[in-house]
Amino acid sequence: MKKILALVIALALCLGCASAFAEKVGVSMPTQDLQRWVQDGENMQAELEKNGYEVKLTYAANVVATQIADLENMITDGCDVLVIASIDGGSLGTVLQSAADKGIKVIAYDRLIMKTPNVDYYATFDNYKVGQIQANFIIEKLDLENTDKVYRMEVFGGSPDDNNAYFFYNGAMDALKPYIDAGKLVIPSGEVEMEKVAILGWGTPDAQKRMDDLLAKQYSDGTFPDVVLSPNDSLAMGIANALEAAGCTAENWPIITGQDCDKANMKNILLGKQSMSVFKDTRTLAAQVVEMVNAILLGDEVPVNDEKTYDNEVKVVPSFLCEPVFADISNYKELLIDSGYYTVEEITPEEAPAA
C-alpha cells in the first residue's frame, strides 16, 4: 500500500511540475488600442496553450521602449521562441541580438522586423494582395474598365514605420495606376506619394484631421470625393467621421476601403459608411504560427511558402503568407457570422442604416 501511495504522490508531483518544464513562448503585441491586436494576442495565446506551451503575452501600448523591455523580460524569463508584432520594425536590433546570443528563435508576426539578421521567420498575410483587393474592389464598383466617367479619389497610407504599410500602398496603387494615368481617377489634392499620405501610428484622429483638411481645401464647394483609398479600418473610421461632420450623406457618400473587419467598422459597413474591409482571419494566422513554433521546437522543417519577397535590408526572411479576402454588405454573414468570428449582436449597429 505504501508503495502504491508513493507512486501516486510521485505521479502527482510530476504532473504538478510539468508546467515548469513546458517550453515557453513569448508573444509581444504592439497595443491593445486596436481591436485586431487584442484578437491576435488572444487567439495566439489560446492556440499555443492548447499545444502545451507556457505563454507570456504582452502589449506595449505602442511605445517602442516598452516593447523592448517586454522582450528583455521574455529573454530573461527563458522563453524558447519569441513571436513579435513590432511597433517600429527597425528598432529591435539590440534586443534581438540578445535573443540570438541565447539561441532563441524569432518569428515576426504580421509586421516584418527590419534591419537585423536575428529574425528567423515571418508569418503574415499577403499584404501586397491586400492592397490589390482594395483596388480591385474600387475598379469593379466604378466599372473603370468600361466607363468614360471621371471620379475623384483621395489616398491614405499607413504608418511609415510599419513595413506592411508600403505593401498595402504599392499593391493598391499599382492596380489603380492605369486608371489614374487614363484620367478616370483624378486626385484633386495631388497628394499621392506615401510621404504625403501616410498616417503615423495608424491613428483614427490623425486620419480624421487629414480628411478634414482635404475637405476644407479641395472640396469647399460642398462636393465630396467619390473614392477614398484607406489601407485599414482605424483610418477608415477617421475618414468616415470627417465626412459625416462635413455633412456628407448617403446620396454622395464615397467608396471607402478598409482592412481588419473591426466591429465598429463592420457596423459602419452595415450603415453604408464604409464599403468593404479586407478580412485577415487571426485564427488562421495564429494556427500557422503554432505550426511554425512546433516545427522550431521539434527541430523539424519550418513551413514557409515565400523565400524571395520579404527583404528586411539585411536578409530575405523565410515567410508564410496566408490568403486575405474581403467582407462587404453582400458576404459578411457567411464570412464573419457563420464562421463564428463574430456574433450578430457584436456587429449590429445601434442606429438605423442610411436610406
Mean pLDDT of 55-77: 97
- pLDDT confidence band for 34 (50 / 70 / 90): confident
Domain extent listing, the chain: 2-119+281-323, 127-279+327-347
Query: Which residues sit opposite 124 in a β-bridge?
Result: 321
Identical topology for domains 2-119+281-323 and 127-279+327-347: yes
Tell me: pLDDT of 21 over 70: no
Residues 6+ apart with CB under 8 A from 323: 125, 126, 129
Angle of CA points 55, 34, 337, to nearest 5°: 85
Domain 127-279+327-347 has what CATH class? alpha beta
Average pLDDT over residues 160-180: 96
Q: For residue 353, what pLDDT is reported?
A: 55
Tell whether the torsion through CA atoms of 73, 296, 164 and 315 is positive or negative.
Answer: positive
Phi, psi of 322, rounded to the nearest 5 degrees? -90, 160
Contact 82, 104 (CB under 8 A): yes
Digit-coded pLDDT (tens) for 268-290? 999 999 999 999 998 899 999 99
Under the banding of pLDDT at 50, 70 and 90, the label for residue 232 is very high
pTM beyond cutoff 0.85: no
Lowest mean pLDDT among 10-19, 131-140, 280-289, 291-300: 10-19
Average per-residue pLDDT for the chain: 92
Q: Which CATH number fits domain 2-119+281-323: 1.10.10.10, 3.40.50.2300, 2.60.40.150, 3.30.9.10?
A: 3.40.50.2300
| Number of other residues whose CB lies within 10 A of the CB of residue 169 | 25
